[in-house]
C-alpha cells in the first residue's frame, strides 16, 4: 500500500484535507436550489463510501509496504473493526446535527460552538491517545485557530441584517454536534497501528481498511439517522424516498461529488496521521473552516456590501488562522 514516508509529505496531505473538508459544502450549496438537504445527504454518504472502496483497491493495494486491503481486512480484529465502524456512526450523527444547527441558528452560532468545541476537544483527545508533537505548540496553534473561528462568526453576525435573537435549540444541537465530532477521529485512529504502517501489528488495520469500515458505518447508520430526519426534519416539511428517486441524475451526481471530495480529504488525513500524529493531522484538517471562508468571501461573495468593520474581522480571521496553523505544523518538526 502507499505509505507517507516523511513529515513534509504528511503536512501536504493535511493541507489537501483542509481543501477537501472546506470545499465539499459547495456541492450542497449548488444542489440546495432545487434539492432538500436530507436528499442531498444520501448522495453525499454514497460518495464517501464509493471513494473508500476506490482508495482501498488502488492506493491501499499497491506497493510492498504494509498489507494489501483484502489481506488486511481478513486479519483485522473484530474490536478494531468495531472501533472504526463506531467512528462512522458517531461522525454521521455529528455531521447531521451540525447541518441542522446551521439551518436553525445560522453559521455565526453553529461554527464557533460546534467546530470550536470539536477542534479543542478533538486535538486533546487525539493527543492523549497518541502523543506526537510538542503539546505547547499544538495547543497554542489550536487556540489561535479557535480565535479565528470566532472572528469568522462575528463577521457573519455583523453582516446579518436579521433578528439578533439566538435559538436555544440551535445552540444545544451545535453543542451536541461538536461534542460528538470531537470523538469520531479517535475511534478510527485507535483501529490502526500508527506507529508502524509498514509492518502493522496483527489485528490492527491500515488507514485504507479503517476508512472503508468507517465509511460503511456512516452508510449503515444513515438508514436510521437520515430516515428519521426525513420524517421529522428540524426545518421544513417531511419528505421521503419517493422524492429522492425522482431527483435528476445531475442532481444526484452533485451530491456524490461532495462525498468523494470529503472522502479524499478524510483518507489523506488518516494516511498522514502515521507521520504527523493524529492530534496534528486532525487539528490541521479542522482548519477547513479557513477554506470554507475563502469560498464564501471570494466565490460566493457572502460579504458583499457588508457593514463597515466586517472586512477588518475577515482579515484578522485569516491572520489568526495562518499563524495558528503554523504553530500546529511546527509542533511536529
Q: What is the pLDDT of residues 53-106, one digit of tens each?
A: 999 999 999 988 889 999 999 999 999 999 999 999 999 999 999 878 877 776
DSSP letter at 197 equals: S
Residue 29 has pLDDT above 70, yes or no: yes
CB proximity list for 16: less than 8 A, separation 6 or greater:
264, 265, 268
CB atoms within 10 A of CB 38: 23
Give dist(CA 4, CA 275) in Å, integer. 7
Confidence of residue 275 (pLDDT cuts 50, 70, 90): very high
End-to-end CA distance of the chain: 25
Give dist(CA 184, CA 194) in Å, integer. 16
Hey, CA dihedral for 286, 292, 298, 299, is it positive or negative? Answer: positive
The pLDDT of residue 161: 56
Hey, CA dihedral for 53, 56, 59, 63, is it positive or negative? Answer: negative
Burial letters 301-320, b for 16+ CB under 10 A, else e: eebeebeeebeebbebbbeb
Number of residues that make up the chain: 333
What's the farthest any 2 CA atoms get from each other in the chain? 60
pTM for this entry:
0.91
Give dist(CA 110, CA 152) in Å, integer. 11
Give dist(CA 57, CA 80) in Å, integer. 20
Give dist(CA 68, CA 70) in Å, integer. 6
Amino acid at each position: 500500500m502507499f505509505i507517507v514516508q516523511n513529515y513534509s509529505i504528511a503536512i501536504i496531505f493535511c493541507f489537501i484535507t483542509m481543501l477537501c473538508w472546506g470545499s465539499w459544502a459547495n456541492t450542497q450549496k449548488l444542489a440546495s436550489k432545487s434539492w432538500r438537504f436530507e436528499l442531498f445527504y444520501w448522495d453525499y454518504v454514497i460518495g464517501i463510501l464509493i471513494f473508500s472502496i476506490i482508495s482501498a483497491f488502488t492506493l491501499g493495494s499497491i506497493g510492498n509496504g504494509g498489507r494489501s486491503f483484502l489481506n488486511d481486512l481478513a486479519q483485522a480484529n473484530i474490536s478494531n473493526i468495531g472501533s472504526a465502524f463506531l467512528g462512522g456512526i458517531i461522525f454521521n450523527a455529528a455531521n447531521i446535527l451540525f447541518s441542522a444547527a446551521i439551518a436553525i441558528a445560522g453559521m455565526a452560532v453553529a461554527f464557533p460552538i460546534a467546530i470550536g468545541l470539536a477542534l479543542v476537544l478533538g486535538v486533546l483527545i487525539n493527543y492523549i491517545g497518541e502523543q506526537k508533537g510538542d503539546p505547547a505548540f499544538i495547543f497554542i496553534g489550536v487556540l489561535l485557530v479557535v480565535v479565528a473561528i470566532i472572528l469568522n462568526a462575528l463577521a457573519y453576525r455583523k453582516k446579518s441584517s436579521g433578528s439578533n435573537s439566538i435559538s436555544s435549540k440551535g445552540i444545544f444541537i451545535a453543542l451536541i454536534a461538536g461534542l460528538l465530532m470531537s470523538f469520531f477521529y479517535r475511534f478510527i485512529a485507535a483501529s490502526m497501528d500508527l506507529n508502524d504502517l509498514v509492518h502493522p501489528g496483527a489485528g490492527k488495520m491500515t488507514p485504507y481498511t479503517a476508512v472503508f469500515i468507517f465509511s460503511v458505518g456512516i452508510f449503515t447508520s444513515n438508514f436510521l439517522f437520515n430516515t428519521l430526519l426525513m420524517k421529522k426534519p428540524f426545518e421544513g416539511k417531511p419528505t421521503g424516498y419517493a422524492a429522492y428517486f425522482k431527483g435528476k441524475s445531475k442532481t444526484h451526481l452533485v451530491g456524490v461529488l461532495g462525498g468523494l471530495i470529503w472522502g479524499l480529504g478524510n483518507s489523506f488525513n488518516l494516511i498522514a496521521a502515521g507521520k504527523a500524529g493524529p492530534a496534528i493531522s486532525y487539528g490541521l484538517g479542522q482548519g477547513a473552516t479557513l477554506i470554507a471562508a475563502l469560498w464564501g468571501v471570494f466565490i460566493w461573495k457572502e460579504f458583499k456590501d457588508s457593514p463597515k468593520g466586517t472586512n477588518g474581522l475577515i482579515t484578522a480571521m485569516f491572520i489568526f488562522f495562518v499563524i495558528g496553523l503554523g504553530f500546529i505544523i511546527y509542533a511536529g518538526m
